[in-house]
Amino acid sequence: MSATQSSSPVRVGFIGLGVMGRGMAGSLLRAGHAVTVFNRNAQAMPPLVEQGAQAADSIAALGASCRVVFLCLSDTAAVEAVLFGEGGLAQALAAGSTVIDTSTISAPATRGFAARLAERGVAMLDSPVSGGQQGAATGSLSCMVGGDAAVFAACLPYLQAIGSKVAHVGGIGAGQVVKACNQVAVTGVMLGVAEAFALARRHDVAPAVVREALLGGAARSMVLEKNALRLIERDFQPGFKAELMRKDLRLALQAGQDRGVFMPGAALIAQLLEGVCSAGEGGLDWSALGKLVETLSGVEEQA
């Protein structure tokens, strides 16, 4: 029986209630789904319980009560621990259940996890997301989904609760590949914007003026609209932390190296993000990349 063919409402689990996870779990609740949540730091659960979620006291307890389980975790090791560690999800899930991993992790590892789950009769979709904290909170993320087409179709109602753009991009692991492509593209644009702003400021032109002018032409992008505004307003409260973007670019570069792809731009940006993190600013929003460009350009930080 697939996850959506039960005669009773399917209970959806959500593990990982960080900046992104809590927004996605809230979107599932607002869409009318029955949701059970678990987070290692239990303090993250009460706000969702107030919205109607149930709180599980362990990963195993959540797995035993849910047929569809979302993960939103920090890295490959965290996903493996939740799935296959002591008291992990894999042992608790019933055959016919589905794991939907929204984490950004290694594509080869994802394929390996899916194979191990399949041995237990559990399906897996990799569905990394893009759209940041606001997209998670409003259910307007972009979901890049890899996995079996029939499993994708069965889980579409849950994916549409968290994302306004849900694309099936191929077999298991393909979602991670597309997310890597996304991170390469958006960080490349951000570096270009940061360089443009530094150039403008060194010639006594305000970045806010530059941004408004560029928004009317070919340079218009979501990065220019949103992330560039963070740089102008000095708002680096994390929507997505620089240390996590560094991790994502490392994954992208490894994927490129595995297939002999020439990626000099991504390699440079990864080095710059390493500089951001080494300066103790890895917990800031990843748009803090622009601060480092300012420093290297001899531009004094604006108030």
Task: Quick: pLDDT tens for 4-22.
Answer: 444 458 999 999 999 899 9
Q: Are residues 149 and 164 in the same domain?
A: yes
Among 115, 149, 171, where does a domain finish? 171
Number of folded domains that form the chain: 2
Domain carrying residue 83: 11-171
What average pLDDT does range 19-48 have in this prediction? Answer: 97
**pLDDT of 41 above 70:** yes
- What is the pLDDT of the chain when averaged over all its residues? 95
Give the per-residue pLDDT at 239.
Answer: 82
Annotated active-site residue in 179, 241, 247, 291: 179
Task: Quick: pLDDT tens for 202-252.
Answer: 999 999 999 999 999 999 999 999 999 999 999 999 888 999 999 999 999
**pLDDT of 166 above 80:** yes
> In CATH, what number is assigned to the domain containing residue 24?
3.40.50.720
Q: Are residues 198 and 166 in the same domain?
A: no
Q: Are residues 158 and 187 in the same domain?
A: no
Neighbouring CB atoms inside 10 A of 38's CB total 26
Which secondary structure element, helix H or strand E, spans residue 82, and what is its range? helix 76-84
Among 114, 145, 171, where does a domain finish? 171
Asked whether residue 84 is assigned to any structural domain, the reply reads yes
> In CATH, what number is assigned to the domain containing residue 238?
1.10.1040.10
Q: Are residues 119 and 202 in the same domain?
A: no
Q: 121: which 2 tokens?
A: 């009769």
**pLDDT of 275 above 60:** yes
Give the per-residue pLDDT at 301.
Answer: 55
Asked whether residue 59 is assigned to any structural domain, the reply reads yes
Asked whether residue 92 is assigned to any structural domain, the reply reads yes
Q: Are residues 167 and 181 in the same domain?
A: no
Judged on CB neighbours under 10 Å (0-12, 13-18, 19+), 232 is middle
Is 247 catalytic? The answer is: no
Q: Are residues 147 and 291 in the same domain?
A: no
Give the per-residue pLDDT at 61.
Answer: 98
Q: 189: which 2 tokens?
A: 């644009």
Q: Are residues 167 and 184 in the same domain?
A: no
Among 156, 171, 186, where does a domain finish? 171
Asked whether residue 5 is assigned to any structural domain, the reply reads no
Q: Are residues 142 and 186 in the same domain?
A: no
163-170/141-146 β-pairing: parallel
